[in-house]
Amino acid sequence: MRAPDGLGGGGDGGNDVKRWRTIFLSDIHLGTPGCKAEFLLDFLKHNESDKLYLVGDIVDGWRLKRGWYWPQAHNDVVQKVLRKARKGTEVIYVPGNHDEALRDYLDHHLGGIFIAGEATHDTADGKRMLVVHGDAFDGVVRYARWLAFLGDHAYNFALWTNEWFNRARRTFGLPYWSLSAWLKNKVKNAVKYISDFEEAVANEAHRRGFDGVICGHIHKAEIRRIGEALYMNDGDWVESCTALVEDWDGSFKIVDWAHIRKLDMLAAPMGAAR
């Protein structure tokens, strides 16, 4: 089956729809002020697929326990995904640590969406990919849960600070700049944490006989080979607004939707203090 030409890979932003073989999304964090739900709705409107993987942290149960935050756009995202499932898209939801409550429903269908602890994805060119959220390979989440919650508060504060900082930059005509992305790339401990995580996930996939792994969790989109395994991370919809897509020949790429659509990362309403 040949995919129709369209927008998803970087078209002109009209009403065209790009059809992929598979789309992978994670770390949407519905229920938080930082979620770019409007941007994700725009992506879902212009991109279709035979199969859609939701690779964890779609709904942020941690944040919702602290206080209810659920604007209409977040509900619209849920409805859009459910509508895709009703219209024939195979939707597989692999819960993460922020939506871990769904792990009580593994191997069940909810609204036409299959809930799985992990999944095996067979690519168009015959590769077997392990699909996991990735929190099982995060030592902080596994062995120091209190520290993970503390880190979550710190991350939300950094997002809040970053938003105000960029609004100030805008008054001087300066472009958007991501503080957390800079920290991830520059701070020694953060770089080591990300590298250790990537290597642990890739090595486990190879040990289990997979050709590679597709995950989320660390909010850093990436496609690269680590040892004998292909490591792919689809990023997030809080800071980067990225998705991982598989084309009809089995090739993969990261779609940077905010860049493609020239979206204003400060356009969403500012949330209350986390």
Q: Where are the domains of the chain?
A: 18-261
**pLDDT at position 106 over 90:** yes
Give residue 176's pLDDT. Answer: 72
Q: Using CB atoms within 10 Å of the CB of residue 183, give its burial: 0 to 12 exposed, 13 to 18 middle, 19+ buried.
A: middle
**pLDDT at position 177 over 70:** no
Q: Which two tokens stand for residue 184?
A: 């991830």
When pLDDT is cut at 50, 70 and 90, the band that residue 263 belongs to is confident
Give residue 144's pLDDT. Answer: 35
**pLDDT at position 183 over 80:** no
**pLDDT at position 214 over 60:** yes
What CATH class is the domain 18-261? alpha beta
Interval 3-36: pLDDT, tens: 333 334 444 344 689 999 999 999 999 999 999 9
pTM of the model: 0.78
- Please work out, in degrees rounded to the nearest 5, the angle formed at the alpha carbon of residue 190 by the alpha carbons of 184 and 192: 120
Average pLDDT, the chain: 83
Give residue 273's pLDDT. Answer: 28
Give residue 50's pLDDT. Answer: 98
Backbone angles phi, psi at 123, to 5 degrees: -75, 165
**pLDDT at position 272 over 60:** no
Across 69-78, 163-172, 223-232, least confident range: 163-172
**pLDDT at position 70 over 90:** yes
**pLDDT at position 69 over 80:** yes
Give residue 39's pLDDT. Answer: 96
Give residue 216's pLDDT. Answer: 96
**pLDDT at position 270 over 50:** no
Q: Alpha-carbon dihedral of residues 241, 257, 182, 265, nearest 10 degrees?
A: -80
Interval 111-124: pLDDT, tens: 999 999 999 999 99
Across 4-13, 62-71, 196-205, least confident range: 4-13
The residue ranking higher by pLDDT, 1 or 188, is: 188
Give residue 161's pLDDT. Answer: 67
